[in-house]
Amino acid sequence: MNGQKPKLAVHKFSSCDGCQLALLNLGETLLQLPELVEIVHFAEAGPNAPDATVDIALVEGSISTPEDVHRIRMVREKSRVLVTIGACATAGGLQALANFADRDAWMSAIYPNPELIDTLRTSSAISGHVRVDCELHGCPVSSRQVVSALRELLNGVMPREETQPVCVECKRRGVICTLVSKGEPCMGPVTLSGCGALCPAAGRGCYGCYGPAERVNDPSLSNRFVDLGLDRQASARRFHFIANQAPAFKAAGSRLKDESHE
């Protein structure tokens, strides 16, 4: 990188800003970041140069409007490495739930003049539009994982992707299984680790924020959900939630919906 500090940009698309806030919440670690990189664009924190050419681009949010499509292509062209952060960017996020509904009816129920709203028919992950070099999952993304990924990128290697399920993190933390001990539906067995078993540690079942783990045995888990009192539609909603456009979760939810009509 010519002896100069690498340039970093943080871009926002259709999202709630939660993943950018995860970066801002780094505190002193964030203050140390300018010692390693030149932050040229991070509107939430101050620097505002969205058209700048950078070495690393962190991208939050899904693609939901024609303008989003245009901007993400520009970001890709001007970025050596593009890293998507959070469930919206990696798997559609909550706004992609509209993909399963009558979008026109939703728009009409919210806006007095829906014909003036310029939006795509679907919301989708960044990877559906441009090449992505690395994905960091979560809702919001883990601050620890972002720092670790940046450190590895600055050392010239691609970040190691998580593959194990949340259940492994529960075991490491000594968290009692909510699925077994409390009989509470939990997505932990099929969800990617990285959150530190945040919800199970608080006594609640996993919501699947981080998207599919390497192996997703959705038939077995959905049968367990039925044993716990959820019908097929309710089980489908567990998969069609925060990471609903992740292929494995999308397919599992669709299968369960089909089975509910048999």
What span, in angstroms and rounded, lies between the C-alpha atoms of 88 and 70? 18
Half-sphere exposure of 166 (CA within 13 A, CB side): 29
Asked, for residue 73, whether it belongs to a domain, the answer is: yes
Handedness of CA 68, 72, 74, 75 (dihedral sign): positive
Taking 50 as the pLDDT cut, the residues of the chain under it are: 1
Phi-psi sector, 138: left (phi>0), alpha (psi -120 to 50), beta: left
pLDDT score for 28: 84
Collect all residues with Cβ–Cβ distance below 8 Å to 246 and sequence separation of at least 6. 90, 91, 92, 125, 211, 212
Q: Is residue 143 part of a domain?
A: yes
Which of 215, 228, 214, 222 lies closest to 252, judged by CA?
Answer: 222
Instruction: Report phi then psi at 208, rounded to 5.
Output: 80, 25
pLDDT at residue 134 in the model: 96
Domain residues for the domain of 174 are 166-260
Asked if residue 161 is part of any domain, the answer here is no
Q: What is the pTM of this model?
A: 0.92
User: Is there a single domain that holds both residue 119 and residue 187?
Assistant: no
Give pLDDT, residue 228: 93
Say if residue 137 is in the same domain as residue 16: yes
Which parts of 61-137 are beta strand (E)?
A: 79-85, 134-136
